[in-house]
Amino acid sequence: MKRVFSSEVSQYIGSEVTVAGWVATVRSHGKLLFIDLRDMMGQVQIVFGPKHSKDIFDLANTMRPEWVIQVVGHVQKRPEGMENPGIPTGMLEIAAGELQVLSKANTLPFAVDTSGYEVSEEKRLKYRYLDLRRDRLHRNLRVRQQVISHMREFLQNENFIEVETPILTKSTPEGARDFLVPSRLQAGKFYALPQSPQQYKQLLQVAGVERYFQIARCFRDEDPRADRQAEFTQLDIEMSFVGQDDILGLIERLYRGIVQKLFPEKRFTQLPFPRLRYQEAMEKYNSDKPDLRKDKNDPNELGFAFVVDFPMFEWKESENRWDAMHHPFTRPQTEEINELKKDPGKALAFQYDFVLNGYEIGGGSLRSFRPEVLEAVFEIMGHEKPEIRDRFGHLLEAFSYGVPPHGGIAPGIDRFLAIVLNEPNIREVMAFPKTGDSRDLMMRAPSGVSDEQLKEVHLHPEKKAQKK
């Protein structure tokens, strides 16, 4: 008999079904025994009574929380006065006919029928496969899937093509440290994990893929920060033949639709989403990610906004050089190279940030598509021409074959979900997050590898100190 989920049981009143899952609770009432069975869709009550054989009833009495069982039984309405309106299946129960124990469980290191906030995060991350049994985290994963599904449907209807880009790529400066991967076949050479698919999505515009998107995994080897992750997920978008208003308008329509469909209890502080110049935001709110909510204690208020007209460059005092405020591929609002080089600090960029309730949830820009402008930006940042050609020659060459004006944006999925789900941090909306210092406590990573593995990728193990 086909197994059904708890959420489907109400369709089978008067019929026999097979259900399977984890024992949530066991309640004994003399001649009656009740088990709440939990699966990924919810819970359903199983009842064992005098009609059962002694073997089945005795086996049911051995049940303990978190054992995995399968039950075949008859779906019936609960007796009057015994209903539980607090759960979707609270008006019915399954009178068990057959019971099978699929696996037993040791006592868990913490309860999983609570929110989990009361448990130390280190313990929760160590036993994440148990922590994820919580209803709250199941809800978060389900909502995450619904948001991503909505994004895909919306963008496909707007003629976007979803394209996967490489994870093993080239190390390039994009604002953070790269994770490096040594090559076994090319001795002394390294791949890098992408901080973003930036160059690939621009090259797709050269290829004529005028509307690209990807649910992209990104990797940044940053110093420990409480609410950042070494790997994260963003909605990556790039478009050809567009201006800034086209991109911001698309994002506003997308997020208004997500909220209205999936979070109808939420309300917008202001529509359309306000657009603030960077200088205005800093002068008025002392922040480039202002919280525009009227009532900052209201968890259902969403203060979306765009911040535009960022400076093109910022001065790095410790390095005694100019650096790109966003990244070097951003298009300056002037393409007069002499003007750019004369006073980089005055140049503005076609850069925009997407903010919500005081957090940056995305950023993007129009891109430089004239090779000479891109080269000038790298020179202002202190790169010599040979280095530019070595690290970005592939992009500059591609642009020599006909490149459309283009731009994009990359909203972070994790941050947005944490805000709309009223979670304290992004780790609560990720299946397997790491600690603030990028450790995976469950898998015990990072970890050492054998000397042989190091030799295969042409790295030499550290010599152990010799005993005297």
Is 351 annotated as belonging to a binding site? no
Distances (CA, A) of 17 to 20, 45, 364: 10, 13, 52
CA distance linking residue 16 with residue 449, whole number of Å: 53
Is 222 annotated as belonging to a binding site? yes
Is 90 annotated as belonging to a binding site? no
CA distance linking residue 79 with residue 93, whole number of Å: 9
Is 174 annotated as belonging to a binding site? yes
132 DSSP assignment: T
Is 229 annotated as belonging to a binding site? yes
187 DSSP assignment: T
**Listed residue (333, 314, 334, 317) closest to 325, CA to CA:** 314
List residues bridging with 17 in a β-sheet: 73
Is 383 annotated as belonging to a binding site? no
Q: First CA to last CA across the chain, in angstroms?
A: 71
Backbone angles phi, psi at 344, to 5 degrees: -60, -30
Contact status, residue 194 vs residue 219, Cβ threshold 8 Å: yes
CA distance linking residue 170 with residue 177, whole number of Å: 12
DSSP of 196-231:
-SHHHHHHHHHTT--EEEEEEEEE--PPP-TT--SE
**Listed residue (374, 397, 387, 388) closest to 327, CA to CA:** 374
**Listed residue (329, 352, 332) closest to 399, CA to CA:** 329
Sign of CA dihedral 321, 322, 323, 325: positive
Contact status, residue 158 vs residue 211, Cβ threshold 8 Å: yes
CA distance linking residue 185 with residue 176, whole number of Å: 27
Is 301 annotated as belonging to a binding site? no
Is 413 annotated as belonging to a binding site? yes
Contact status, residue 324 vs residue 381, Cβ threshold 8 Å: yes
Is 252 annotated as belonging to a binding site? no
**At residue 35, what is the residue type?**
I
Is 43 annotated as belonging to a binding site? no
Which residues does the annotation place in the binding site for L-aspartate? 174, 220, 326, 367
Which residues does the annotation place in the binding site? 174, 220-222, 229, 326, 360, 367, 412-415
Which residues does the annotation place in the binding site for ATP? 220-222, 229, 360, 412-415
